[in-house]
Structure 1
Amino acid sequence: MRQTWRWFGPKDRVSIDDMLQAGVQGVVSALHHVPTGAVWTPEEIARRQDDLARMTDGSPSGLAWEVVESLPVSEAIKTQTGDWRAHIQNWITSMRHLKAAGIDVICYNFMPVLDWTRTDLAWRRPTGARCMRFDFTDFAAFDIHILQRKGAAEDFPEEVRDEAARRFAAMDNAAREALAGNVVFGLPGAAESFTLQDVRDLLDSYAPVTDAVLRRNFHAFLEEVAPVAQDLGMRLCCHPDDPPFGLLGLSRIMSTEADYAERMAAVDLPANGITLCSGSLGARPDNDLPGMMDRLGDRVHFLHLRNVRRDSDAIRGSFFEDEHLGGQTDMVALVAAVLREEARRRAAGRADATIPMRPDHGQDILDDIGRGGQPGYPAIGRLKGLAELRGVEAALSHGA
């Protein structure tokens, strides 16, 4: 596995120096300041490459931008409304510019409205560490009583509705605002700017988009972009839904192995691939991560390795982001499956035999607490996770 690290750009509280000291081999980044649907120009791509090529003192870092995460897919493309055709062409143009800059791997997602959803961005663990948590009942309180989405109550079991009402009644205004802010943080680029009415308006735009329509629109997108990626020698890899079950009345079509198999078959090209995120997929008890790696591994172009611990075996339920070796996904078995796939690729002479991996998320520990970094992306917590994953890989590879 090639060890990479996500970097959010010059404003990231985790510096290039920090990444070097963590011993990473490559960088995962994106142009978050470019509006969704617009073209990523060669100049902006080169500027980001220059940013990460130097340490704080100006000396060369030796690091390169190797994976894009994410080149965003606009809501217009997902709903096939407005300027969606122009947005697809801009996505393709951006892809060509990235290839010209030497970047071959693009991670993206097709989640409606929310890129990810949590109800607590700094949940305290018994050790004093902080992590992100999705509490299903708190989310119901947000959906039913704060957002007041039409029909929301019918989407939750009676016992969850009742407990959500009790929790909401016990919250003061500050607690209600904090919960809403945590949920809205998962809107792309919207942490500080989106209002609840903006969320309602976005949800309204999805009213005609049934599960079947969203799948059709995704396939139409793939039919346009995947052949170009194949011709360019690029690898596209779709990230799973996070969490991998329906929320806010929206369809989820990248939550299970069957979803991935259907999407890969829809445009059956090697370039049309998978970001295997063990944390997102692991939030469902019916997802077998080592098995998915064995069965779908030839199309896995990017790995997010993190772990979660679920409160129950319900398909839709609460979970928190555990230590990398501490959750309910058998990380040793998953890494073993990755190494088997890499060995198969080497035997077949594939140029992509080494799969880029990043230690996804991490708990805030030690000096991470109070740093004010991007939620889920601490310096020391990720370094701890990376060290553990390195150890697993080294042990499994010993003598091979």
Structure 2
Amino acid sequence: MRQTWRWFGPNDGVGIDEMMQAGVEGVVSALHHLPTGAVWSGQEIARRQREIATRVDGSASGLAWEVVESLPVSEDIKKQSGDWRAHLAAYKQSMANLAQAGIEVICYNFMPVLDWTRTDLAYRVRHGGTAMRFDLHDFAAFDIHILQRPGAAESFPVGVAEIAAERFAKLDDAARQALTTNIVSGLPGAAEHFSLDDVRAHLAQYTEISAETLRGHLIDFLAEVAPEAERLGLRLCCHPDDPPFSLLGLPRVMSTEADYSAVMQAVDLPANGITLCSGSLGARDDNDIPGMMERLGDRVHFLHMRNVTRETPGLPCSFHEAEHLGGDTDMVSFIAAVLREEARRRDAGRSDASIPFRPDHGQDILDDLNRRPQPGYPAIGRLKGLAELRGVMTALCHAEHGLRL
């Protein structure tokens, strides 16, 4: 398992020197300053590579850009409307430029309109630190009373709308704005941020797009880009929906093992792969994360290791970001399944036997609380998570267990 760390670029509050002190082996990054649909030029890619390779004092860091997260898929491609064919051509050119630069793994997602969605970015947890949280009743208060989406009240389970109305009535203007800002935050680190009118306009464009239609568009996209990725020596890996259930009436197509199996079978190429995120998928109690790794492991190209604690039963549910070994997912069993997959790959002579992973998200603890980092990406909270994961890996790889790094 190759230990990596997400970096949002020069404006990230956690720098290259700090990543080195964390002991990471590679870097996960993207060109967040470029608009979705634009070509990632060789010059821009090389600039990011140089930034990663250089410490504050100008000396070599020894780190390299190893995983792209994310090369974003435009809304036009997802809807197959507007400039989607031009965006598809740009996507292929960006892939070619990344391959030319020696980068082999590209993570992306196919979530409509919004990326990961949370109602609270600084929820106070038991030990006094903070974590990101999705509260179903707060989200319903936003959907029904702030966004005022037609039919929103009827889209939630019985009793949720009533509690949401009570919650909304207790919010002052500042709290309503804070809730809106938390939810409508666009892509983390990206140049795009949506207003309420933007969200309403995007939602209107999805009213006629069902989950079946969106899945068909994803398969069409992959039928175009996966053969090109195969030719270029790239590995594409789709991130799951976050949360893994429908929000705002939007379709979801990568929320379960069945979703992944269908898309992997539809475009059955090794380059068409999976970002197995234990946090996103773990927000559903019917997702067996270690089992998914066992059954789908040969197509897993990238791992996000984080944990969530589900606060309410059923779907949709409330949850918060837990400590990496402290949530509802059995992280020890998950890591053991990853190590078994890596052993199978080594025995088969695969060049991608070591699967890159990163400690995804993290609770804000200690000095993180003063740094005000990118939401979900604290320095110390992620370092703690990486240390815990590294400890599990080391224990499982002890000679008596017959596994090795």
TM-score range with shorter-chain normalisation?
Answer: over 0.9
Contact persistence 1:184–1:191 (CA under 8 A): no
Rounded to whole Å, the distance in 2 between the matches of 1:91 and 1:197 is: 28
Amino acid at match of 1:46: A
- The alpha-carbon distance between structure 1 residues 148 and 187, as it changes in their structure 2 partners (threshold 3 A), is farther
Amino acid at match of 1:177: Q
Aligned-pair CA distance for 1:195: 1.3
Q: TM-score, normalised by structure 1?
A: 0.99
Is 1:365 the counterpart of 2:358? The answer is no
Rounded to whole Å, the distance in 2 between the matches of 1:280 and 1:37 is: 25
* Equivalent residue number for residue 79 of structure 2: 79
1:166-185 mapped onto 2 (5 Å cutoff): 166-185=166-185
Aligned-pair CA distance for 1:185: 1.4
Rounded to whole Å, the distance in 1 between the matches of 2:86 and 2:189 is: 21
Q: Which digits, 9 at most, give the CA deviation of each residue in 1:11-67, with x for residues without a partner?
A: 000000110000000000000011100100000000000111111111110000000
The alignment partner of 2:273 has SS state of strand
Aligned-pair CA distance for 1:189: 6.0
Rounded to whole Å, the distance in 1 between the matches of 2:296 and 2:315 is: 22
Amino acid at match of 2:318: S
Rounded to whole Å, the distance in 2 between the matches of 1:293 and 1:350 is: 17
Amino acid at match of 1:21: Q
Q: Which digits, 9 at most, give the CA deviation of each residue in 1:297-354, with x for residues without a partner?
A: 0000000000000012312100000000000100000000000000000000000000
* Equivalent residue number for residue 325 of structure 1: 325
Rounded to whole Å, the distance in 2 between the matches of 1:60 and 1:192 is: 32
1:305-344 mapped onto 2 (5 Å cutoff): 305-344=305-344
Is 1:8 the counterpart of 2:8? The answer is yes
Amino acid at match of 2:254: M
Rounded to whole Å, the distance in 2 between the matches of 1:350 and 1:98 is: 21
Q: Which digits, 9 at most, give the CA deviation of each residue in 1:107-127, with x for residues without a partner?
A: 000000111100000100121
The alignment partner of 2:102 has SS state of coil
1:240-279 mapped onto 2 (5 Å cutoff): 240-279=240-279
* Equivalent residue number for residue 295 of structure 2: 295
Q: Which digits, 9 at most, give the CA deviation of each residue in 1:105-148, with x for residues without a partner?
A: 00000000111100000100121110000000000000000000
* Equivalent residue number for residue 157 of structure 1: 157
1:25-104 mapped onto 2 (5 Å cutoff): 25-104=25-104
Rounded to whole Å, the distance in 2 between the matches of 1:100 and 1:374 is: 30
Contact persistence 2:6–2:28 (CA under 8 A): yes
Amino acid at match of 2:230: Q
* Equivalent residue number for residue 148 of structure 1: 148
Is 1:282 the counterpart of 2:279? The answer is no
Rounded to whole Å, the distance in 2 between the matches of 1:78 and 1:369 is: 37
The alignment partner of 1:325 has SS state of coil
The alignment partner of 1:366 has SS state of coil
Rounded to whole Å, the distance in 1 between the matches of 2:190 and 2:135 is: 21
Amino acid at match of 1:230: E
* Equivalent residue number for residue 196 of structure 1: 196
Rounded to whole Å, the distance in 2 between the matches of 1:102 and 1:192 is: 28
Q: Percent of aligned pairs with the same residue?
A: 70
- The alpha-carbon distance between structure 1 residues 208 and 188, as it changes in their structure 2 partners (threshold 3 A), is farther
Rounded to whole Å, the distance in 2 between the matches of 1:161 and 1:388 is: 39
Is 1:124 the counterpart of 2:124? The answer is yes
Amino acid at match of 1:145: H
Bigger shift: residues 5-14 or 145-154: 145-154
Rounded to whole Å, the distance in 2 between the matches of 1:15 and 1:358 is: 16
Rounded to whole Å, the distance in 1 between the matches of 2:352 and 2:313 is: 36
Contact persistence 1:118–1:182 (CA under 8 A): yes
Q: Which digits, 9 at most, give the CA deviation of each residue in 1:200-226, with x for residues without a partner?
A: 011111112111110111111000000
Amino acid at match of 2:2: R
Rounded to whole Å, the distance in 1 between the matches of 2:59 and 2:254 is: 42
* Equivalent residue number for residue 386 of structure 2: 386
Amino acid at match of 2:242: D
Bigger shift: residues 113-122 or 153-162: 153-162
Rounded to whole Å, the distance in 2 between the matches of 1:315 and 1:60 is: 48
* Equivalent residue number for residue 396 of structure 1: 396
* Equivalent residue number for residue 216 of structure 1: 216
Rounded to whole Å, the distance in 2 between the matches of 1:46 and 1:75 is: 27
Rounded to whole Å, the distance in 2 between the matches of 1:354 and 1:246 is: 33
Contact persistence 1:2–1:25 (CA under 8 A): yes
Contact persistence 1:222–1:267 (CA under 8 A): yes
The alignment partner of 1:326 has SS state of coil
Amino acid at match of 1:181: T
Q: Which runs of 5+ in 2 are unaligned?
A: none
Aligned-pair CA distance for 1:188: 6.1
Contact persistence 2:186–2:194 (CA under 8 A): no
Contact persistence 1:181–1:191 (CA under 8 A): no
Contact persistence 1:184–1:190 (CA under 8 A): no
